[in-house]
């Protein structure tokens, strides 16, 4: 069925072959080439698997979508198209004129070849260059809110959108998924941090690479999604319905096939994004301070600042071998369905003060606007899973029950059995006693009857 096609909404002649692959093949990558004779059999098998898997998840995704306040906000991912000069491109090379990468309002999606490539690495923004996206205006709520995104950005209405609520028990373990391995050095003394009106974006040099994916991916940028002060939720991806306080996305592009993220975002599997859930812990995370302590310099939309470079991989959780993998999209307009998602199972903990810096420092408005609007709740509601498979790099077992839970279950079972035994024992005992009593009564009654039979006779 056509529903098995992976990136069906995008018109991408170059990627037809991969688009036709079932989810799992595309997800786990390369190892299978299309020419193999065994292939057909493999595909058939995988299709069966996909079919099986999809019986249950879809309804639950629906179930996860409520109308609570948590649901309406959301996502700010890679807002590449309209914002690519900013989000993908702020690098270290000399300033070059950048053509405005503005998709026509409500027009067809720009096609890869006709989309002007961005010089890579792109120019570092100077104070005179606004870091604001051009293109159709969008927001998380209101008249340009996420319900309206598909009107100006058709891909936002597609069937492989992000984020999603991952039902961990339905994720399919795939032991062949290797650990994620970040490699390379920044090679630059400074990074550029920007407020693009939707999120805080840190431009990353392509010398930072990612291994452990189907191809070699180069870093483009990272950014954040968060909620608002005093509210628990702000992340985009949910794990079993739980929304963490914030989420970081590290965007990479397929450097083997494309020259930059702006080009790669138009092609299925062109981008690889690492998702890191941020939870609140007791201590501040020193590496996150490299970014968060500079937010005060980019308070208003359009502002940028240079910050000393640091080890980006120290922002990731310790276990890079534990993750969920699925095919999805940018979580902000233009919502292109070109992202190979990796959501780490482990969260990273930052302090409450650090979270509050994220929630309370930035404005979605420029410094010139008369009414400042806080940049909060920049997360998208979970999207339908539809025909997609979610893989996990680890077996399901260990996640199910902790040792404590196993002990509790064993203890509970023994207690229940004991209780049942005692109940049966006492019931039986009481029944025996009652039966003995009944016999006694019968005996007396019959003897009494006998007696009365002998009673007065006419």
**Catalytic residue set:** 198
What CA–CA distance (Å, rounded) separates 342 from 392? 9
Max Cα–Cα distance, the chain, nearest Å: 134
What CA–CA distance (Å, rounded) separates 174 from 391? 6
Which pair of tokens denotes residue 169? 């028990």
Residue 322 contacts Zn ion per CB under 5 A: no
Which CB atom, from 249 or from 388, has the smaller least distance to Zn ion? 249
Which CB atom, from 43 or from 238, has the smaller least distance to Zn ion? 238
Which CB atom, from 43 or from 335, has the smaller least distance to Zn ion? 335
Binding mask 102-131 for Zn ion (x = CB under 5 A): ------------------------------
Q: Which of residues 134-153 bind Zn ion (CB under 5 A)?
A: none
Q: CB 420 → Zn ion: shortest distance, Å?
A: 53
Q: At what angle do helices 57-64 and 38-54 cross, to 10 degrees?
A: 40
Binding mask 229-268 for Zn ion (x = CB under 5 A): --------------------x-------------------
Which CB atom, from 141 or from 405, has the smaller least distance to Zn ion? 141
Which pair of tokens denotes residue 281? 């812990």
End-to-end CA distance of the chain: give it in Å, rounded: 97
Q: CB 195 → Zn ion: shortest distance, Å?
A: 15
What CA–CA distance (Å, rounded) separates 355 from 349? 10
Stretch that binds Zn ion, among 70-78, 125-133, 160-168, 256-264 (CB under 5 A): 70-78
Q: CB 401 → Zn ion: shortest distance, Å?
A: 32
Q: CB 222 → Zn ion: shortest distance, Å?
A: 9
Q: CB 372 → Zn ion: shortest distance, Å?
A: 23
Residue 111 CB: number of other CB atoms within 10 A?
13
What DSSP state is assigned to residue 180? Answer: P
Chain residue whose CB lies nearest Zn ion: 77
Size of the site for Zn ion (CB under 5 A): 2
Stretch that binds Zn ion, among 71-79, 82-90, 105-113, 170-178 (CB under 5 A): 71-79
Which CB atom, from 170 or from 224, has the smaller least distance to Zn ion? 224
Which CB atom, from 43 or from 343, has the smaller least distance to Zn ion? 343
Figure out which of the listed residues 77, 180, 200, 213 binds Zn ion, where binding follows CB under 5 A: 77
Q: CB 173 → Zn ion: shortest distance, Å?
A: 26
3-state secondary structure (DSSP) of residue 352: helix
Q: Which of residues 377-396 bind Zn ion (CB under 5 A)?
A: none
Which pair of tokens denotes residue 195? 């407020």
Give the DSSP per-residue string, 73-125. Answer: S------HHHHHHHHTT--SBPP-------PPTT-PPPPTTTSPPPPSS-BPP
Stretch that binds Zn ion, among 69-77, 145-153, 185-193, 280-288 (CB under 5 A): 69-77
- Tell me if 392 sits within 8 A of 161, measured CB to CB: no
Q: Which of residues 336-365 bind Zn ion (CB under 5 A)?
A: none
What CA–CA distance (Å, rounded) separates 271 from 268? 8
Burial class (CB in 10 A: 0-12, 13-18, 19+), 421: exposed
What DSSP state is assigned to residue 456? Answer: -
Q: Please give the residue ranges that form the binding site for Zn ion (CB under 5 A).
A: 77, 249
């Amino acid at each position: 069925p056509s529903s098995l096609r992976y990136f069906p909404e995008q018109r991408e002649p170059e990627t037809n072959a991969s688009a036709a692959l079932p989810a799992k093949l595309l997800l786990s990558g390369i190892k299978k080439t299309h020419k193999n004779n065994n292939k057909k059999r493999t595909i058939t098998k995988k299709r069966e698997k996909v079919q099986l898997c999809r019986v249950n998840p879809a309804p639950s995704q629906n179930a996860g979508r409520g109308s609570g306040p948590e649901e309406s906000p959301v996502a700010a991912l890679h807002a590449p198209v309209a914002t690519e000069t900013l989000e993908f491109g702020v690098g270290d090379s000399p300033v070059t004129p950048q053509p405005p990468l503005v998709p026509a309002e409500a027009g067809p999606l720009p096609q890869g070849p006709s989309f002007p490539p961005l010089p890579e690495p792109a120019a570092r923004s100077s104070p005179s260059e606004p870091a604001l996206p051009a293109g159709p205006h969008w927001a998380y709520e209101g008249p340009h809110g996420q319900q309206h995104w598909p009107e100006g950005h058709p891909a936002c209405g597609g069937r492989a959108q992000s984020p999603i609520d991952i039902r961990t028990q339905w994720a399919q373990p795939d032991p062949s998924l290797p650990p994620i391995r970040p490699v390379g050095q920044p090679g630059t003394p400074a990074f550029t941090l920007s407020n693009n009106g939707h999120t805080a974006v840190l431009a990353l040099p392509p010398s930072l690479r990612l291994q452990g994916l189907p191809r070699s991916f180069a870093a483009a940028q990272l950014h954040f999604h968060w909620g608002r002060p005093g509210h628990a939720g702000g992340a985009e991806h949910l794990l079993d319905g739980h929304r963490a306080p914030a989420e970081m996305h590290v965007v990479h592009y397929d450097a083997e096939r494309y020259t930059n993220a702006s080009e790669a975002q138009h092609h299925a599997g062109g981008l690889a994004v690492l998702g890191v859930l941020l939870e609140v812990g007791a201590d501040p995370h020193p590496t996150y301070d490299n970014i968060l302590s500079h937010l005060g310099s980019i308070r208003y939309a359009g502002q940028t600042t240079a910050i000393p470079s640091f080890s980006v991989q120290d922002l990731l959780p310790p276990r890079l071998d534990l993750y969920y993998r699925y095919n999805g999209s940018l979580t902000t307009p233009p919502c292109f369905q070109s992202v190979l998602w990796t959501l780490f199972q482990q969260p990273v903990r930052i302090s409450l003060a650090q979270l509050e810096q994220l929630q309370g420092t930035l404005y979605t408005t420029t410094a010139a606007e008369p009414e400042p609007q806080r940049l909060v709740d920049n997360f998208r509601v979970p999207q339908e899973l539809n025909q997609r498979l979610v893989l996990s790099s680890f077996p399901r077992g260990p996640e199910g029950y902790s040792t404590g839970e196993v002990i509790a279950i064993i203890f509970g079972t023994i207690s229940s059995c004991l209780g049942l035994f005692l109940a049966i024992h006492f019931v039986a005992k009481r029944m025996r006693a009652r039966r003995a009593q009944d016999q006694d009564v019968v005996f007396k009654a019959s003897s009494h009857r006998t007696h009365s039979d002998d009673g007065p006779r006419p």
